[in-house]
């Protein structure tokens, strides 16, 4: 079914590299766009990404590498975006070709700052792409474990189940299991929110809180996520499914979690600016925190963890004092 369809990956980071690796197992050729000219040349010559997941070796005969986003889009039927949400709008402004006949899947876990929309909504509203041509790729899954070929699970959400099945089949393999969902908006919001809770987990760790408190905060986090998503998009969903709870847990606890790492630095006393400078990857939860907090001013969900992270990151409040107060609101 997917063998006759063409796929393109947009992005040069760890998730884009992991997705390109998964697709290359099942497809004879994919287009891969990254704006870094040196990285394109390095992959063509040495068969691995010099900046992310460098242990992954590619069969370059299967890669149509390009530093021109229009070439990748023109090539493909299915386009998978895997770039930080903070840079998505700027990348899309480089397009001169239309997306109207393309099927868009997002592997981006965040909010587009310029529009305060999740990625699927951004493509629908800004580019008039129907929701049945928009999908989401979410976890629980770390790109680093895909590189190590450790058993990982994906959730593919789309309003059109046939398209979800095509993407699931194209990404599945011996160590990748993919299931489909019809909760496009809920899974995408969950993928955004879990990064905020991972920052909270990191801050708590940096402040010296132990596993007992972390478990209570994650338990409260999934309930908080449920309340938030229900306000945004009410439908029947099981918040304990892997796409929600599983993704939250792996992001909150894993050593590979850049959001937890970022939070840990903040808890240890780093300023936001210094923590961001020291990290080589973007912590999506930083941008998501502001967007989620502002959105919730209209929704009115009870979100003490999001409020606490916002107070530390954007209001400059003392993390120790804020989290001491947070402990009193959790149960």
* Residue 155: CATH number of its domain: 3.40.50.720
Q: Are 281 and 140 within one domain? A: no
Pairing of strands 152-158, 134-138: antiparallel
203 and 169: one domain?
no
**Among 182, 209, 238, residue at a domain's last position:** 182
Residue 109 annotated as part of some ligand binding site: yes
For residues 170 and 242, state if they share a domain. Answer: no
User: In the predicted model, is pLDDT for residue 317 greater than 70?
Assistant: yes
| One domain, residues 222 and 292 | yes
For the entire predicted model, the pTM comes to: 0.91
133 carries a ligand binding annotation: no
pLDDT at 284 over 60: yes
Is pLDDT of 269 > 80? yes
pLDDT surpassing 90 at residue 205:
yes
User: Are 234 and 269 within one domain?
Assistant: yes
Mean pLDDT across the stretch 112-119?
90
Q: Is 258 annotated as a binding residue?
A: yes
Burial (CB count within 10 angstroms: exposed 0-12, middle 13-18, buried 19+), residue 137: buried
Residue 190 is part of a domain; what is its CATH number? 1.10.1040.10
| Nearest residue to 252 (alpha-carbon basis) of 201, 305, 321 | 201
Q: Which domain holds residue 136?
A: 2-182
Same domain, 139 and 152: yes
Residue 1: predicted pLDDT? 46
> At 3, is the pLDDT very low, low, confident or very high (cuts 50, 70, 90)?
low
pLDDT on residue 228: 96
Residue 302 sits in the same domain as residue 174: no
> Cβ distance 175 to 151 under 8 Å?
yes
Q: Tell me the C-alpha to C-alpha distance, in Å, between residue 265 and each of 45, 51, 110, 192.
A: 37, 22, 21, 20
Listed residues 156, 182, 208: the one ending a domain: 182
Judge whether residue 249 has pLDDT over 70.
yes
Contact between 167 and 1 under an 8 Å Cβ cutoff? The reply is no
Hey, which residues are catalytic here?
194
With a cut of 70, say whether residue 195 has pLDDT above it.
yes
CB 122 within 8 A of CB 104: no
User: Is the domain of 201 the same as that of 65?
Assistant: no
Cα atoms in the Cβ-side hemisphere of radius 13 Å centred on 249: 13
Q: What is the mean pLDDT of residues 26-30?
A: 95
Rounded-to-integer distance, Cα 291 and Cα 195, Å: 12
């Amino acid at each position: 079914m997917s063998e006759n369809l063409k796929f393109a990956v947009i992005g040069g980071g760890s998730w884009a590299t992991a997705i390109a690796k998964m697709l290359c197992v099942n497809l004879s050729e994919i287009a891969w766009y990254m704006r870094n000219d040196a990285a394109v040349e390095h992959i063509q010559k040495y068969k691995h990404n010099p900046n992310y997941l460098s242990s992954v070796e590619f069969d370059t005969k299967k890669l149509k590498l390009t530093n021109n986003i229009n070439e990748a889009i023109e090539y493909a039927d299915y386009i998978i975006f895997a770039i930080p949400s903070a840079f998505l709008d700027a990348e899309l402004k480089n397009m001169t070709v239309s997306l109207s006949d393309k099927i868009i899947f997002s592997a981006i876990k965040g909010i587009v700052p310029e529009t305060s929309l999740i990625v699927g909504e951004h493509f629908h509203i800004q580019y008039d792409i129907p929701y049945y041509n928009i999908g989401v790729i979410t976890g629980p899954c770390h790109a680093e474990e895909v590189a190590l070929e450790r058993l990982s699970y994906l959730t593919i959400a789309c309003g059109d189940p046939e398209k979800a099945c095509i993407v699931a089949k194209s990404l599945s393999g011996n160590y990748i299991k993919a299931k489909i969902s019809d909760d496009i908006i809920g899974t995408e919001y969950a993928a955004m929110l879990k990064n905020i809770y991972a920052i909270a987990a990191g801050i708590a760790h940096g402040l010296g809180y132990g596993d007992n408190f972390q478990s209570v905060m994650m338990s409260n986090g999934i309930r908080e996520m449920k309340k938030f998503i229900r306000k945004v998009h009410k439908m029947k969903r099981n918040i304990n499914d892997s796409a929600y709870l599983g993704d939250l847990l792996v992001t909150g606890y894993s050593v590979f979690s850049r959001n937890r790492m970022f939070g840990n630095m903040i808890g240890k006393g780093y300023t936001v600016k210094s923590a961001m400078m020291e990290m080589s990857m973007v912590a999506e939860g930083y941008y998501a925190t502001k967007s989620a907090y502002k959105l919730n001013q209209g929704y009115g969900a009870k979100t003490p963890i999001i409020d606490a992270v916002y107070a530390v990151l954007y209001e400059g409040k003392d993390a120790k004092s804020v989290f001491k107060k947070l402990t009193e609101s959790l149960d």
